Structure 1
Amino acid sequence: MAVYRAFCEKALCCDVLFFHASAVALDGEAYLFTGPSGIGKSTHARMWREAFGKEAVMINDDKPLLRFWPDGVYAYGTPWDGKHHLNTDIRLKVKAICILEQAAENEIEKVSFSEAHDVILEQSFHACCWEHKQAVKQMVSLLLNRLSVYRLKCNISTQAAWTAYWGMEK
């Protein structure tokens, strides 16, 4: 854990943020699914792999690295890939972030900066020192200004994957 923390802190200096999410690649773009532990990020990512077959590739199932470039935000695979060890050494531009909520029916809606801010900040690297905390807050603001964020209320079905995809493709 000490190596992870040291790496995350050094990475902040290079416009890199570690983010708690499942990152899935489809059609050459990255889709990030986030929310509190146990909400179903890995399960939803599995639904994407079942719905889209070999076209859906796991970038990282737990802590992808997000790097800010002038042309966008990119997701990278990392060795910190969760209990299922699903990770691919690729870099793809992030299309959108989706905050997951469990529900009986599937529905997706775009959320505002203020609606998404606290959830995204909570799922970002938890820095210890004031300087690093400020860097994380700045990157979260940049992330929310550059990317669309959605709330997906979903069940455990491949239809949930299709609902998310269609909603984020609009």
Structure 2
Amino acid sequence: MPKYLIADFIVEIEPKFDYLKKLCEPFLYEGERSADFSAIPSASYLNSLLSRMVEGSTIDEAEEFATASIFNRKIIHRGAMLVHSSALVFDGKAYLFSADSGVGKSTHTKMWLKRFGSKAHILNDDKPVVKIKNGVPLCCGTPFDGGSGIADNETVPIGAIIFIERSDDNFVTVPDTKEIVQRLYKSTVKFVNKSDGMSLLSNLDNLIRHTKFYVLHCNTDDSAVDVAYNNIIKNCK
């Protein structure tokens, strides 16, 4: 069975459809490490999921979504977690822009690509994973792209996690711990039992202790990038 190296976990995945096969190719692992776990959805789960997805969704998309869901739930117990975000790499650090659907996280990171060109790139536009290793917060690419087609096999130190809020004006605030927890909880896998909950709380605590967080209140004007750069990036160098 094929094995893949994702966020330093060896994962058994058995893609049946072309979409997931293509996404997983850069993560293929041919070394000697044993699998940490498998992330293989059953046929019945795929069909059930497809029936609940938006009209026009394909079985290929259902397989990617189901595999991602299994993967992201299993890593909770291994010191890692999904942060639903667009992860931008700039000056060797990852900046995770997280927001509710429709707020414009991808729109904002694309503005960075337009402004800075090859100095910036998007690691993953939907489902990057975060973990702490030797006290350093890391952003890890995954094959799971949320339909964007952007899913690189790369691990980069985190500069900051930035929550985006729409606003007429562009400015930055620093959230307190309660706000960080609330916002992170909205952007990650929800626990279904006590064991999940305890592991998730531990991950949240570890991430908060080692990572910088900001809230970017912004519109879609290019000046939003300037505000983020001057008030966030310069503080994370």
State the TM-score bracket (shorter-chain normalisation).
over 0.9
Amino acid at match of 1:13: H
Does 2:148 match 1:84?
Answer: yes
Gaps spanning 5+ residues in structure 2: where?
1-64
Residue 127 (structure 1) shift:
2.6
Aligned to 1:120: 184
User: Tell me, what secondary structure is at the counterpart of 1:128?
Assistant: coil
TM-score between both structures, scaled by the size of structure 1: 0.93
Aligned-pair RMSD on alpha carbons? 1.4
DSSP 3-state at the match of 2:220: coil
Contact 1:109 1:167 in 2 (8 A): no
CA offset at residue 77 of structure 1?
Answer: 1.3
**Inter-partner Cα distance in structure 2 for 1:71 and 1:165:** 25
Query: 2-side partners of 1:95 and 1:107: how far apart?
Result: 18
Match status 1:27 vs 2:95: no
1:38 to 82, 102, 117: 102
> Shift of the alpha carbon at 1:148?
1.4
For residues 18-167 of structure 1, the aligned pairs below 5 Å read: 18-167=82-231
CA distance in 2 between partners of 1:97 and 1:115 (Å): 13
CA-to-aligned-CA distance 1:1-36 (integer Å, 9 cap, x gap): 432222122212321111101100000000011121
Deviations 1:20-57 (A, max 9, x none): 01100000000011121111111111111112111111
Gaps of 5+ in 1: none
Q: CA deviation at 1:129?
A: 2.2
- Cα offsets for 1:75-134 (capped at 9, x unmatched): 111121123222221110001111101112111122221222201111111232221122
Aligned-partner residue type, residue 52 of structure 1: F
Percent identity over paired residues: 28
Higher normalized contact order (CA 8 Å, seq sep 6+, divided by chain length): 1
Higher strand share: 1
Which residue pairs with 1:11 in the alignment?
75
Letter paired with 1:64: P
Aligned AA (2:165): E
User: Structure 1 CA distance, aligned partners of 2:201 and 2:135?
Assistant: 20
Deviation at 1:72, TM superposition (A): 1.1
Give the SS at the match of 1:13: helix
Which ranges of 4 or more aligned residues in structure 1 deviate by more than 4 Å?
A: none
The number of equivalent residue pairs is: 170
